Amino acid sequence: MSLARIATAVFAMAVLVALGGCASTNAPEAYYGLTAPENLEARARSGSGARQVLVPQPRALQALDTANIAVVDAGPVYTYFPKAAWTDTLPKVVQAKIVQSLENTRGLRGVGLPGEGLLIDYQLQTDLRAFELRIDGRDRAVVEIMARLVNDRNGRTRASRIFRAEAPAKSTNVRDAVAALNTATDAVLREMSAWVLGNV
C-alpha cells in the first residue's frame, strides 16, 4: 500500500473516532415523557359515542420537530437542554398523548393512528406552535396547539381552535421544566378533549 493510501486511511479512522467521541458526548443521559390527563369528564354531543377519530402526527417547525427539549429566550432564540431528550420526537410524543387523552374520556367509539384500520368519521389535525420553557423574564412552560376537526367523509372542517396554556417553572433545570410542561400540556389536552367530544 502506498504512503498516500495509508495516510488517507489513517485520516479516515481519526475522523470516525472523533465523530464517535462527539456522539457519545452528546448522547442524552435522561429521556423524559409526558403524562396524559385522567378522569376526564367531558360532555359529549349526542351521538359522539358512535364516532371514531383519527389522530395524525402533529405538524411542527424544525425547531420543535425534534427529540430535544426546547428552551426559548427573547427573540425568540431556541436552544435545548444538554444531555436530555424526549422519549421520541416531540410530535410523536404529543400525538400519543392526544390519543390517550381522548381514550380516557371514554366518550368515543374509537381513537386511532393512521394505518390502524379504523372506519374514521373525523380527523383531529394539529400544529405544534409552542412547546418550550420560556426564559424571557419569567420562567414558564408554554404549550400552544392549533387543532382542526375535519370530516373524513367530505374533507370539510367541522371546527378549529387554538389551545394554549402556561405553567410557572420552579427553576430552569430540566426536571422542573418538564414538570411545568406536563402541567401546561395537561391543561391543553383536557380542554381539547372536551372540545372534540362537543363537536364530533
Which segment of 3-12, 65-74, 118-127, 189-198 scores lowest on mean pLDDT? 3-12
Extract the C-alpha cell encoding 186. Answer: 395537561
- pLDDT interval class at 2 (50, 70, 90): very low
Residue 52 three-state SS: strand
> Is the pLDDT score of 66 beyond 60?
yes
Q: What is the pLDDT of residue 44?
A: 55
* pLDDT value for 10: 34
Give the model's confidence band at 187: pLDDT under 50 very low, under 70 low, under 90 confident, else very high. very high
Nearest-angstrom CA–CA distance, 111 and 113 = 7
From the list 138, 129, 146, 122, the residue with the least C-alpha distance to 172 is 138
pLDDT at 119: 83
- Pairing between strand 84-86 and 70-73? unpaired
Cβ pair 142, 130 in contact under 8 A: yes
pLDDT in tens, 35-48: 888 776 655 555 55
CB 110: neighbour CB atoms within 10 A?
A: 16
Indicate the average pLDDT of the chain.
86
50 — pLDDT class (breaks 50, 70, 90): confident
Is residue 26 over pLDDT 90? no
**Residue 106: left if φ>0, alpha if ψ -120 to 50, beta else—which one?**
left
Higher pLDDT, 67 or 12: 67
Domains and CATH numbers, the chain: 31-197 (3.40.50.10610)
Percent of the chain with pLDDT over 70: 82
Report the pLDDT value the prediction gives residue 74, as an integer from 0 to 100. Answer: 87
Quick: pLDDT tens for 135-177.
Answer: 988 899 999 999 999 998 898 999 999 999 999 999 999 999 9
| Positions of E strands within 62-200 | 70-73, 77-80, 84-86, 110-112, 122-134, 140-151, 157-168
